[in-house]
Structure 1
Amino acid sequence: QGPGHSHWSYEEREHWGVDYPDCAGNGQSPINIDTAKTTFSPQLRPIQLSGYSLPANEKLRLRNNGHTVQLDLPESLAITGGYTQQYRAVQLHLHWGSLSGPGSEHTVNGRRFAAESPFGPCLCHYCGFSVLQVGPRENPYYQEILEHLYKIQSEGEEVLVPGFNIAGLLPANLKLYFQYNGSLTTPPCYQTVKWTVFNQTMLLSHSQMSVLVMTLRSDDSQPLQNNYRPVQNLHGRRVL
């Protein structure tokens, strides 16, 4: 079910391990990716997408679950590549900071980006994501989500949005990525996720980023901001 659906908060993230033991495990996410310490793996194939261009008459559910905004995806979307498995993409959601600071969960060489957009069946075995930066132009694909946020400002609100080319939310170059074994970044923090981190970043305009960080309210009716978990220790895990 992704982030949400249980009584936890980002303000208490340092204490998640009390109620959710896996959150205190040695295989947790997110992490900092030190590119100089990654290992090249020739077995990793380019990521490929199928079924991602959706017609406008195929409606998608967009909702505010109090922790993030989540877009539910149809079962026809598939992800292949990496170590040859095929996965179904069932949802995507976003992590962001505030107007005063960035809010991606993963960092690269110690750098935190403006926001992060995980997609896939993240609860089970696979989660890939794009990192988002502020750029000079509006991103038409993310606008398909952002233009509806005002309709779901409060927790529990949802709206049906027209289908669009979901692949546009991801980088054009899906050949370059990092991969590692980790966990859900929210309770219950199950350590069963293979994370794929794309090298290429996506750009949102400054006004789009402002809409993302200012529009929604959390489960306590406060502004929904800084919904990210700090980086976790690698504990000897390899990043490919």
Structure 2
Amino acid sequence: MASVWDSGLGSWSKSIRLEESSSCWENGSACALQPSSSPPPHLLAARIPACPDGEKTWPKKYPFCGGVFQSPIDFHNDILQYDTTLLPLELVGYNVSSTDHFMLTNNGHSVRMSLFPTMHIRNLPFQYTATQLHLHWGNRNKPEGSEHTVSGRHFAAELHIVHYNSDKYPDVTAAIDKSDGLAVLAILIEVRCMSCAFSIVNNVALVPGFDIQELLPDQLDEYYRYEGSLTTPPCYPSVLWTVFRHPVKVSEEQLLALETALYCTQPNDPAPLEMVNNFRHIQKFDERLVSVSFRQGKGISFTFAERGEYNTLHLFSTFYPKFSRHFTAPWRHIHYLQFTDGEFEEEEDFLNVLQEVSSRVGQNPGVLAPDFFEPLDNISALSIK
């Protein structure tokens, strides 16, 4: 992982710039979605003309952007459903020889790498063939540039690997506006640590081949799956999204390089314009179903409510709220209290722990010692007097 993410973004990205561009994002500081030169067909979905008022203006020219089943969305417990039929993805042809080269470009709103048609995904409803990957990020002052969020939490950035349905369509241009046309793998990115030699050729960088799978998290069997849209105009609702549960990690220095080294300056601009905040905001859920291939963490939270001489200890499960318990006793002071978010593989495991906690509380109505919960896995120590 680290050897591939060690890509010196700052070393090449300033040389990969556009002569013309325009600002099309919410705060007006991000860069254009329209390159000056004519792009190949698979870039058409990432192009729109100037829109200085931000993404709220997209629906005026691109009606799908104001329609249903838009992306990105927030993944929270209320909308998730465990699906036993979801299989680990099988990635074919992702390990590319170093004698071959990927072409890396600044397309005006992101950094984009073209992929080879020998790369496929299996274990989806159809075979999907890779076409390109690109990144979304924030800015140096607010590095929260992921498009999808988990329980309201943004990640530092997000990588998208775009594929088209090659079982049904000859190329991405034919597939892009079809309901089953695209499949995107989304990788959430957290800050940790990453440097690959690029040679600059005109306005592109040539990247020696490597194993694209190394950009993905280790656990390919844990992901969110839903039907959504492109996150840039024309926002076609044509994407089968797979968002991996576990983020990959990059260094703070590399994230800063990404946030400060890419530019999209127009010829008449008095100063260079940084490409930042190139992510779309969270969209309405529209009653969709999000399937997950993993069982959610079943946490127990411990909280107190003071009521005169008696306090109440609440044991609450975010995943199994119907099994929550509360106990009232003459506890006067909270000596130590820590919330916990333990994980349990099965409902039975959670209920066993809850039963043990309930039993101990019942046996100790006056004082709970500091080691009260120590023998229990995933439960923090609690001391109350």
Provide TM-score, normalisation by structure 2: 0.56
Partner residue in 2 for 1:12 = 54
1:9 CA drift (Å): 5.0
Partner residue in 1 for 2:300 = none
1:161 CA drift (Å): 1.4
Instruction: Report the 3-state secondary structure (helix = DSSP H, G, I; strand = E; otherwise coil) of the residue aligned with 2:274.
Output: coil
In the alignment, which of 95, 99, 114 is matched to residue 140 of structure 2? 99
Q: How many residues align?
A: 228
Question: Residue 88 in 1 paired to residue 139 in 2?
Answer: no
Partner residue in 2 for 1:233 = 284
In the alignment, which of 191, 202, 225 is matched to residue 134 of structure 1? 191
Partner residue in 2 for 1:46 = 88
Partner residue in 2 for 1:190 = 236
Q: Is the 8 A contact 1:45 1:84 kept in 2?
A: no
1:158 CA drift (Å): 1.3
In the alignment, which of 200, 203, 218 is matched to residue 264 of structure 2? 218
Question: Residue 181 in 1 paired to residue 227 in 2?
Answer: yes
- In 1, distance between residues paired with 2:48 and 2:235? 12
Aligned residue runs from structure 1 range 198-213, under 5 A: 198-213=244-259
Partner residue in 2 for 1:66 = 108
Output the aligned Cα RMSD.
Answer: 2.0
- In 2, distance between residues paired with 1:237 and 1:88? 26
User: Structure 2: any 5+ residue segments left out of the alignment?
Assistant: 1-41, 165-175, 267-271, 292-385
Instruction: Report the 3-state secondary structure (helix = DSSP H, G, I; strand = E; otherwise coil) of the residue aligned with 1:228.
Output: coil
Instruction: Report the 3-state secondary structure (helix = DSSP H, G, I; strand = E; otherwise coil) of the residue aligned with 2:190.
Output: strand
- In 2, distance between residues paired with 1:84 and 1:187? 25
- In 2, distance between residues paired with 1:9 and 1:175? 39
Q: Is the 8 A contact 1:104 1:116 kept in 2?
A: yes
- C-alpha deviations, 1:186-215, integer Å up to 9, x for none? 000001111100001000011111111111
User: Structure 1: any 5+ residue segments left out of the alignment?
Assistant: none
Query: 1:44 is aligned with what amino acid?
Result: L
Instruction: Report the 3-state secondary structure (helix = DSSP H, G, I; strand = E; otherwise coil) of the residue aligned with 1:90.
Output: strand
| Larger CA Rg, structure 1 vs 2 | 2
Query: 1:126 is aligned with what amino acid?
Result: A
- In 1, distance between residues paired with 2:157 and 2:81? 26
Q: Is the 8 A contact 1:117 1:129 kept in 2?
A: yes
- In 2, distance between residues paired with 1:175 and 1:43? 11
- In 1, distance between residues paired with 2:286 and 2:207? 41
1:57 CA drift (Å): 1.0
- In 2, distance between residues paired with 1:10 and 1:134? 31
Query: 1:29 is aligned with what amino acid?
Result: S
Instruction: Report the 3-state secondary structure (helix = DSSP H, G, I; strand = E; otherwise coil) of the residue aligned with 2:213.
Output: helix
Instruction: Report the 3-state secondary structure (helix = DSSP H, G, I; strand = E; otherwise coil) of the residue aligned with 2:259.
Output: helix
Query: 2:183 is aligned with what amino acid?
Result: Y
- C-alpha deviations, 1:141-173, integer Å up to 9, x for none? xx44xx649x59xxx921221111111111111
- In 1, distance between residues paired with 2:93 and 2:103? 17
1:39–1:133 Cα change, 3 Å: same
Provide TM-score, normalisation by structure 1: 0.88
In the alignment, which of 110, 117, 139 is matched to residue 75 of structure 1? 117
Deviates further, 115-124 or 72-81: 115-124
1:33–1:18 Cα change, 3 Å: same
- In 2, distance between residues paired with 1:158 and 1:30? 28
- In 2, distance between residues paired with 1:214 and 1:148? 18
In the alignment, which of 210, 217, 220 is matched to residue 171 of structure 1? 217
1:8–1:179 Cα change, 3 Å: farther
- C-alpha deviations, 1:83-106, integer Å up to 9, x for none? 442211111000000111110011
Query: Identity of counterpart residues, as a percentage?
Result: 36
Instruction: Report the 3-state secondary structure (helix = DSSP H, G, I; strand = E; otherwise coil) of the residue aligned with 1:187.
Output: coil
Instruction: Report the 3-state secondary structure (helix = DSSP H, G, I; strand = E; otherwise coil) of the residue aligned with 2:224.
Output: strand
Q: Bigger relative contact order, structure 1 or 2, given CA contacts below 8 A and separation 6+? A: 1
Aligned residue runs from structure 1 range 143-182, under 5 A: 143-144=195-196, 148=198, 151=200, 157-182=203-228
Q: Is the 8 A contact 2:198 2:208 kept in 1?
A: no
Deviates further, 12-21 or 212-221: 212-221
